[in-house]
Amino acid sequence: MLQVPFIRENKESVLVGLAKRNFKNAEAIINDVLATDELKRSVQVQLDTILATSNNLNKEIGMLYKSGETQKANLLKEKSGKLKTESKELQEQFNTAESNLLNLLYSIPNIPNQIVPSGSSEDDNETIFEEGTIPTLNENKLPHWELAKKYNLIDFELGNKITGAGFPVYRGKGARLQRALINYFLDKNTAAGYEETQVPHLVNEASGMGTGQLPDKEGQMYHSTIDDLYLIPTGEVPMTNIFRDELLKEEDFPICLTGYTPCFRREAGSYGAHVRGLNRLHQFDKVEIIRIEHPDRSATALDGMVDHIKVILAELELPYRILNLCGGDLGFTSSLTYDFEVFSAGQDRWLEISSVSNFETFQANRLKLRYKNAEGKSTLAHTLNGSSLALPRVLAAILENYQTADGIKIPEVLVPYTGFDFIN
d(CA 417, CA 422) in angstroms, rounded, equals 13
Residue 114 lies in a domain: no
- What is the CATH classification number for the domain harbouring 129? 3.30.930.10
Q: Tell me: do 70 and 139 sit in the same domain.
A: no
Q: What is the pLDDT of residue 270?
A: 57
Residue 112 lies in a domain: no
pTM of the model: 0.93
Q: Tell me: do 233 and 134 sit in the same domain.
A: yes
Residue 111 lies in a domain: no
Q: Tell me: do 291 and 359 sit in the same domain.
A: yes
Coil, helix or strand at residue 228: coil
Last residue of a domain, one of 71, 106, 141: 106
Burial of residue 45 (CB within 10 Å: 0-12, 13-18, 19+) is exposed
> Which residues neighbour 241 within 8 Å (Cβ) at sequence distance 6 or greater?
203, 206, 207, 210, 211, 367
- What is the CATH classification number for the domain harbouring 17? 1.10.287
> Which contiguous run of DSSP H or E holds residue 282?
none
Residue 115 lies in a domain: no
Q: What is the pLDDT of residue 66?
A: 83
Q: Tell me: do 266 and 303 sit in the same domain.
A: yes
Which domain does 398 fall in, by range?
122-423
Q: Tell me: do 148 and 64 sit in the same domain.
A: no
Q: Tell me: do 78 and 143 sit in the same domain.
A: no
Q: Tell me: do 408 and 367 sit in the same domain.
A: yes
Q: Mean pLDDT per segment of 10 residues, for the chain of length 424 residues?
A: 97 97 96 98 95 85 82 80 89 97 97 97 97 92 97 97 97 98 98 98 97 88 96 98 97 98 84 80 97 98 98 98 98 98 96 97 98 94 97 98 97 98 98
Q: Tell me: do 95 and 244 sit in the same domain.
A: no
Is residue 203 within 8 A of residue 230, CB to CB? The reply is yes
Last residue of a domain, one of 49, 74, 106: 106
Q: Tell me: do 334 and 407 sit in the same domain.
A: yes
Q: Tell me: do 231 and 365 sit in the same domain.
A: yes
Q: Tell me: do 328 and 237 sit in the same domain.
A: yes
Residue 299 lies in a domain: yes
Cβ atoms within 10 A of the Cβ of 28, count? 9
d(CA 248, CA 231) in angstroms, rounded, equals 28
Torsion angle in degrees (nearest 10) through CA of 360, 363, 366, 369:
-70
d(CA 405, CA 410) in angstroms, rounded, equals 14
Is residue 31 within 8 A of residue 391, CB to CB? The reply is no
Q: What is the pLDDT of residue 273?
A: 58
Last residue of a domain, one of 55, 75, 106: 106
Q: What is the pLDDT of residue 62?
A: 82
The order of strands in the sheet holding 320-324 is: 126-131, 320-324, 336-344, 349-360, 382-390, 283-293, 255-264, 195-196
Residue 116 lies in a domain: no
Residue 113 lies in a domain: no
Number of domains in the chain: 2
d(CA 311, CA 315) in angstroms, rounded, equals 6
Residue 400 lies in a domain: yes
Q: Tell me: do 273 and 358 sit in the same domain.
A: yes
